[in-house]
């Protein structure tokens, strides 16, 4: 339990240091270590590279019995088809995905930060009950919400609209829990000083607490973005029309429509992978540190 506070408190962006074990690992040991790591690297990278390579093949080369690591007839025809098709508007899907994931991330951070601050710093009736209920739902598997939430969003007339993949999932119990732990770990002195200067609660929250919490807010925003970006089941069933799909749901449509057109499928997968892959390349360390901190909530 306490490890979480240590893990979250004033966030360091430095690369974590492993325990130094004596400092002489032995040459043979090191060679074996690198050998294993390199074999793993090949196992992890080669499928992704093959996806990229295949997206530049012709339909025939993509299903050639002999693997082609370099396309015999390099072509962008798969991309031309993908980008030019009205049935599979991938760019529209990419736009929908970016919009939905961004909107949900903002909604999660805004609502969770406000609630978490009240739970961290204020005293009020029902506080324990509210916090207890939120924490309890951390352990409730999401499967239980699928059917009733479908009925609820159909009542709101949100079926087949992006709202359906933005709003319901924004009720993040994890977000509240995560930020409450962070706010609790902040030193109170600055807030006290602002209070003495006559700042109201919202002012203190906005201009003292939030600026101090940027790393934690960014981490939560990123995790929420990735969760929404990769969500598959929910958009698959609540979005119907081609124009409304997100990338994951769209890819499934694409696969159903083009069973063995692997050139098209790999081009589609590449387009779906590209935005998040670029985000990952740009902020790789931040993404990993962010995810690794979720585990310390144990």
Binding-site size, other proteins (CB under 8 A): 125
Going by C-alpha positions, the residue among 293, 130, 153 that lies closest to residue 220 is 293
Contact window for other proteins (CB under 8 A) among 28-36, 70-78, 84-92, 210-218: 28-36
Are the C-beta atoms of residues 166 and 175 closer than 8 Å to each other? no
Are the C-beta atoms of residues 73 and 61 closer than 8 Å to each other? yes
Contact window for other proteins (CB under 8 A) among 70-78, 80-88, 134-142, 212-220: 134-142
Site mask for other proteins (CB under 8 A), range 208-247, x = bound: ------------------x--xx-xx--xx---------x
Contact window for other proteins (CB under 8 A) among 72-80, 82-90, 115-123, 210-218: 115-123
Are the C-beta atoms of residues 271 and 63 closer than 8 Å to each other? no
Q: How far is the CB of 172 from other proteins (least distance, A)?
A: 9
> Is there binding between residue 49 and other proteins (CB under 8 A)?
no
| Vertex 75: Cα angle to 73 and 78 (nearest 5) | 125
Task: For CA atoms 245, 248, 250, 256, give the dihedral sign.
Answer: negative
- Select from 83, 94, 121, 218 the one that contacts other proteins (CB under 8 A): 121
Are the C-beta atoms of residues 45 and 250 closer than 8 Å to each other? no
Nearest to other proteins of 83, 265 (CB atom): 265
Site for other proteins in 65-94 (CB under 8 A): 65-67
Site for other proteins in 164-183 (CB under 8 A): 167-171, 173, 176
Burial of 281 (0-12, 13-18, 19+ CB in 10 A): exposed
Give the span between the Cα atoms of 206 and 208, in whole angstroms: 6
Going by C-alpha positions, the residue among 44, 41, 16, 45 that lies closest to residue 285 is 16
Q: How far is the CB of 268 from other proteins (least distance, A)?
A: 7
Q: How far is the CB of 36 from other proteins (least distance, A)?
A: 6
Are the C-beta atoms of residues 183 and 121 closer than 8 Å to each other? yes
The DSSP symbol for 164 reads H
Site for other proteins in 94-113 (CB under 8 A): 107, 110-112
> Is there binding between residue 149 and other proteins (CB under 8 A)?
yes
> Is there binding between residue 130 and other proteins (CB under 8 A)?
yes
Site mask for other proteins (CB under 8 A), range 271-290, x = bound: -xx--xx-xx---xx-xx--
Q: How far is the CB of 63 from other proteins (least distance, A)?
A: 4
What is the DSSP annotation of 48-92?
Answer: HHHHHHHTTS-HHHHT-SS--SS-SS---HHHHHHHH-SSS-HHH
Q: How far is the CB of 57 from other proteins (least distance, A)?
A: 11
């Amino acid at each position: 339990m306490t490890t979480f506070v240590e893990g979250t408190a004033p966030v360091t962006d430095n690369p974590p240091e492993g325990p130094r074990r004596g400092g002489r690992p032995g040459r043979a040991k090191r060679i074996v270590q690198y050998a294993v790591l390199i074999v793993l690297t090949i196992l992890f990278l080669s499928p992704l590279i093959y996806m990229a390579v295949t997206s530049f093949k012709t339909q025939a080369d993509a299903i050639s019995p002999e693997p082609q690591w370099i396309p015999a007839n390099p072509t962008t025809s798969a991309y031309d088809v993908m980008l030019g098709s009205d049935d599979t508007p991938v760019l529209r899907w990419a736009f929908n995905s970016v919009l939905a994931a961004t909107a949900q991330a903002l909604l999660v951070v805004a609502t969770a930060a406000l609630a978490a601050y009240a739970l961290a710093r204020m005293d009020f009736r029902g506080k324990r009950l509210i916090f207890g209920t939120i924490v309890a739902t951390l352990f409730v598997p999401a499967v239980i919400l699928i059917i009733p939430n479908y009925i609820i969003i159909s009542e709101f007339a949100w079926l087949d609209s992006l709202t359906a993949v933005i709003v319901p999932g924004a009720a993040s119990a994890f977000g509240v829990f995560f930020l409450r732990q962070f706010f609790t770990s902040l030193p109170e002195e600055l807030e006290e000083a602002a209070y003495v200067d006559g700042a109201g609660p919202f002012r203190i929250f906005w201009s003292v607490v939030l600026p101090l919490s940027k790393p934690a807010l960014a981490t939560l925003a990123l995790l929420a973005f990735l969760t929404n970006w990769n969500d598959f089941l929910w958009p698959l069933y609540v979005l119907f029309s081609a124009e409304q799909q997100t990338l994951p749901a769209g890819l499934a449509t694409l696969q159903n429509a083009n069973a063995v057109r692997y050139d098209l499928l790999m081009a589609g997968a590449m387009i779906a992978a590209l935005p998040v892959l670029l985000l990952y390349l740009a902020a790789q360390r931040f993404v990993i540190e962010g995810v690794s901190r979720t585990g310390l909530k144990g």
